[in-house]
A and B are shown apart, each in its own frame.
Chain A
């Protein structure tokens, strides 16, 4: 079946640091890939997505590239802010969403 494995947290960074959260997947078909973000006390919001191999999703300074050869969709941001503190979920959508366990990111001023 489909599954998503993402980097365990928590991750603590200083403002303006570089952030990478690794995500790899297992799927039988050709799924769409997503990163969702959950801010404290809120629901999940779509951060970015990619629907086919080599697509790059980007939003709010975050980027992720759909790599079919390595079955990966790593999330990156070049300079984080305190407001980026949240839980980040990698997910794939073949016929339903499968989520990773989530990575908690804390950015210190």
Chain B
């Protein structure tokens, strides 16, 4: 059982470049989330989805877009990367209710030069 997987694990971008981070889960979960982790700030919610075809803004959505075309996948896009987006990005998923336990992927370390 793979759980939550993320690709890529590491990436270096130049300012202005674009990229997409992929999250996949095999637990048939309804809810999926994207967080960023920065030193001393815990995890902050970027965007989330309550089911296939839905997306919603979290705490820090600016500069990011997301899509949930399939239930098992949740994509995070950076259209024009900025150094302030250097961070570790975590995807998570949870079951049928928003209060269910969230399960996290291993993370993607992104550096924007």
List the interface of chain A (C-beta within 8 A of B): 4, 31-32, 34, 36, 42-46, 49, 51, 89, 93-97, 99-102
Contact of A101 among B40, B45, B107 (CB under 8 A): B40
Cα-based distance from A31 to B58 in the complex (angstroms): 18
In the complex, what's the smallest C-beta–C-beta distance from B63 to chain A, in angstroms?
20
- B106 is an interface residue with CB less than 8 A from chain A: yes
- B2 is an interface residue with CB less than 8 A from chain A: no
List the interface of chain B (C-beta within 8 A of A): 4, 33, 40-45, 48, 58, 90, 92, 98-99, 101-107
Cα-based distance from A46 to B100 in the complex (angstroms): 12
Contact at A43–B106, with CB atoms within 8 Å? yes
Contact of B98 among A34, A89, A96, A102 (CB under 8 A): A96
In the complex, what's the smallest C-beta–C-beta distance from A11 to chain B, in angstroms?
15
